[in-house]
Amino acid sequence: MKQRLTALILLCALLTGCAAAGKGEQPLTATVLAMDTVMNFTLYGGGMGEEQLRQALSGAEDTLRQLDAALTAQGAEGEAAALNAADGAWTAVPQSGALLQQTLELAELTGGALDPTAYAAVKAWGFADGNYRIPPAEELEQLKADIDYTRVELSEDGAQARLAPGQQLDFGATAKGWAGDLLRQQLEQGGITSALLDLGQSSIAAVGTKPDGSPWRIAVQDPAGDSGDYVGILELSGRSMGTSGSYQRYFEQDGVRYCHIIDQATASPAQSGLAGVTVVADSCLLCDGLSTALFVMGLEDGVRFWRENSSLGFDVIFITDAGEIFVTSGLKDSFSLADGEEREVQVLE
């Protein structure tokens, strides 16, 4: 009897030991403050050594800080800031030239719904420094005239650019997406096969899937809910997503909410009937830029744009001010509602 009991106890100990050993691979994570937001990076090393993994992570952080400094419109070293201060003169854009080129292309593609020169209005409404105000009508008229991406010029070699006098530009709508793509490339070259780059929630880029092959599960914020309240879960495998919403940054006056996304047609905060737009695609830059553009366009025009540009390979989640949830057909299987969510998802073909 005693022997059997001892054997049993030893067996239990063995089992618990095994349970402890098989706890699974632990990722390397980092929280970085950059581009005016909090970013979270999660890297799995797979078979690589810990030192190599750390180097990959710190390399990514370095690149991020470099980009942040180069692209900002508010710091002294920022190329956007230099462009803005040049008042129409040619300015060197060694780090941001390529980004500027692609941003302008997106602007043209979206018919101006995305327009980097809307920064003038962003500043006028107070979103740059926090001194919120409603600009008077004459100022808005002037702004409307100034906001025009077609008047931004890039030199042949892409090393220089200039704005038209009176214009102001920033990369607010595309910088994070750009960083997401660059960082993802860098990590892949460094041998990383499984990582998640959360660039402040509005842009997320995935490298592959999780180590066990399952997709990353990303919660989609409910525009009408409190922070942390989410409406559904999106499964992401090796792709990116970008989100623009009226709830991200806004101020309220006299019961009206003014958000930070400017509609270039009115030089005022967009009021298109949409509360949140999430774009899913391979390129993080595309997601970032299109989410802003589609938000400005509104549901009807946004859906039309999606149908007419299927070659771009992107899908969208639209959430209207009324709380309706629309999802384009490509996301049918990867988007699921949260438990307890009573609304229905309407699939767009």
Partner 1 sequence: MSRSAKGIAALLVLLLAGSAAFLLLRPKGEGQVARITLNGKVVQEIDLSRVEQPYTLTIDGPGGFSNTITVEKGRICVSKAGCPDQICVHQGYISDGTTPIVCLPNRLIIEITGGGSGLDAAAG
**Contact residues for partner 1 (CB under 8 A)?**
1, 4-5, 8-9, 12-13, 15-16, 19-20, 23-24, 40, 42, 196, 198, 201-202, 204, 210, 216-221, 223, 226-230, 233-234, 241, 243, 245, 247-248, 276, 278, 338-340
- In what helix (H) or strand (E) does residue 220 lie, and over which residues does it extend? strand 216-221
Rounded Cα distance between 220 and 257, Å, is 21
Phi-psi region at 270: left, alpha or beta (left = phi > 0; alpha = psi -120 to 50): beta
State how beta strands 37-44 and 325-328 pair. Answer: unpaired
Spatial contact of 86 and 162, defined as CB atoms under 8 Å apart: yes
Rounded Cα distance between 66 and 51, Å, is 22
Least separation in angstroms between CB 224 and partner 1: 12
Rounded Cα distance between 217 and 183, Å, is 20
For residues 100 and 285, which CB has a smaller minimum distance to partner 1 in the complex? Answer: 285
Q: Count of CB atoms within 10 A of residue 221's CB?
A: 22
For residues 5 and 137, which CB has a smaller minimum distance to partner 1 in the complex? Answer: 5
For residues 200 and 269, which CB has a smaller minimum distance to partner 1 in the complex? Answer: 200
Residue 149 tokens, joined: 């991406």
Least separation in angstroms between CB 269 and partner 1: 18
Rounded Cα distance between 327 and 335, Å, is 8
Least separation in angstroms between CB 111 and partner 1: 26
Rounded Cα distance between 206 and 27, Å, is 14
Rounded Cα distance between 13 and 8, Å, is 9
For residues 13 and 85, which CB has a smaller minimum distance to partner 1 in the complex? Answer: 13
Least separation in angstroms between CB 16 and partner 1: 4
Least separation in angstroms between CB 160 and partner 1: 36
Least separation in angstroms between CB 35 and partner 1: 16
Least separation in angstroms between CB 13 and partner 1: 7
Rounded Cα distance between 78 and 73, Å, is 6
> Could you please report the per-residue DSSP string of 105-173?
HHHHHTTTSS-TTBHHHHHHTTTTTS------HHHHHHHHHH--GGG-EE-TTSSEEEPPTT-B---TT
For residues 164 and 219, which CB has a smaller minimum distance to partner 1 in the complex? Answer: 219
Instruction: Supply φ then ψ for residue 106, to 5 degrees.
Output: -65, -35
For residues 162 and 210, which CB has a smaller minimum distance to partner 1 in the complex? Answer: 210
For residues 227 and 311, which CB has a smaller minimum distance to partner 1 in the complex? Answer: 227
Least separation in angstroms between CB 324 and partner 1: 17
For residues 12 and 265, which CB has a smaller minimum distance to partner 1 in the complex? Answer: 12
